[in-house]
Structure 1
Amino acid sequence: MSKGFKLLLLLLGLAALSWGMYECKYYYSYYADLKDRPWAYSRDENAKLLVGTWQGEFHDPDGVTKTIRLTIAEPVTDEERARKAGRRARKRSGLGSQTDKKRFDGSATVSSHRGREAYKLNGHVRTEDGHQLDVIHFQIDDELQALRKNFTVHSALEGGQWQDDRLTLTLAFTYTTATGSAFSSSADPRYDKKITVRLSRENHEHFATN
């Protein structure tokens, strides 16, 4: 057997070993998420998860009718999982082993005749199956573009729930003045008003309760 052929076999063996390690890391991460994040991942392509896009309508504390479209993103996308699996481990921690298994991020838009409000959001599920939600924090995507003289969404209170194609949230608000500052008054109940909105998975009928 020539030296060149032996070298070729060695290179092929190293390539196979590297690919095997990549596959192990990728699928270990995936199956760990199936177990730890059942609200975000499922082997069933038709499973109804918290992850996805939801929509609904509500009336803000000023009585303005608004439409909310809310997207909860996958904690780790396939592309991110593949990229992380391909990296050489520098620490003992496994792929994503130290991440917060109950956290989620996303975005939302709220539309009305007054204009469009764009938000980033983050929150946590309270239960292992994810059907009970903790506080969801909303942050205006661009403060310079924030609507003035408007009740903007500040948060969704602890106690939100989702089941199948229905998501129920109770929204709290912050009033933005004409100068862009926040304002509140204990003498006016609008500033402390909470609104319950029932959202449906996109492409399903939705409704709201105020």
Structure 2
Amino acid sequence: MAKGKTILFFLFGLAVISWGIYEWKYYFSYRNDLAERPWAYSEDKAAHLLVGEWQGDFLDPDGVRKTMRLEILVPMTEDDRAKKASRRTRRRSGLGSRSDQQRFDGFATVTSQRGIEEYECYGAVRDKTGSRLNTVHFRVVDEKQQLRKNFNVLLAEDGGQWQNDSLTLTLAFTYTTATGSGYSSSDDPRFDKKVTVHLSRVKS
């Protein structure tokens, strides 16, 4: 009987230690993100962060008016953080490289009279304040659905600026022909044209 109680207490102790380690890893991960990614996390639920939804209008190199709706995703969701904290092993890189800390992913939808353009996007902030962005790359979600005879978004150039409810990007484009191939001409200034888009936060 005494032996059974000893085993029971031992197992209970292991469970408590395991839960304590999980809580510590979760808390440490969250506090680290608050310090290193203030553009993505805040204890203030009303804070104005870079992550979230943005919208703005622009004219593409053909002069077609388009609307971009951009969503920048939170780098790590609460579910992802909980799963990471529950792992028994961890990568040798520990918290990850600084470039990983500054990276973000997202989605963008561009609409116009010509149709709908759907993109995945990825980029990074220049430093942990998040006020300046490095190059943001756009990739068509489904090439079969890519608009033809259209200037599609290729990237947002290095130097994008974010402040509170304002995000400014300078877009570069790639032209897609009727057959789906890319085309460019040094004799036509449209193919080198860059367009600035001013996006505002979409209020929830």
Alignment size in residue pairs: 203
In structure 2, C-alpha distance between the alignment counterparts of 1:85 and 1:102, rounded to whole Å: 21
The 5-angstrom pairing of residues 102-141 of structure 1 reads: 102-141=102-141
Uncovered stretches (5+) of structure 1, i.e. residues with no partner: 205-210
Report what 1:149 is aligned to: 149
In structure 2, C-alpha distance between the alignment counterparts of 1:132 and 1:185, rounded to whole Å: 31
Shift of 1:97: 3.1
In structure 2, C-alpha distance between the alignment counterparts of 1:124 and 1:174, rounded to whole Å: 21
In structure 2, C-alpha distance between the alignment counterparts of 1:13 and 1:49, rounded to whole Å: 41
1:69 and 2:78 equivalent? Answer: no
Moved more, 29-38 or 98-107: 98-107
Shift of 1:90: 5.0
Report what 2:53 is aligned to: 53
1:24 and 2:20 equivalent? Answer: no
1:197 and 2:200 equivalent? Answer: no
Report what 2:168 is aligned to: 168
Shift of 1:60: 0.7
In structure 1, C-alpha distance between the alignment counterparts of 2:133 and 2:61, rounded to whole Å: 23
Q: Deviations over 1:97-138 (max 9, x none)?
A: 347111111110101111111001111111220101111000
How many percent identity over aligned positions? 61
Moved more, 169-178 or 6-15: 6-15
Q: Deviations over 1:71-95 (max 9, x none)?
A: 111111111110011011155443x
Report what 2:96 is aligned to: 97
In structure 2, C-alpha distance between the alignment counterparts of 1:102 and 1:142, rounded to whole Å: 27
RMSD between aligned alpha carbons? 1.5
In structure 1, C-alpha distance between the alignment counterparts of 2:141 and 2:101, rounded to whole Å: 25
TM-score by length of 2: 0.95
Report what 1:82 is aligned to: 82
Report what 1:5 is aligned to: 5
Decide whether aligned partners of structure 1 residues 70 and 91 sit closer, same or farther in structure 2, where only a CA change above 3 A counts: closer
TM-score by length of 1: 0.92
Q: What SS does the corresponding residue of 2:107 show, helix, strand or coil?
A: strand
Higher helix content, 1 or 2: 2
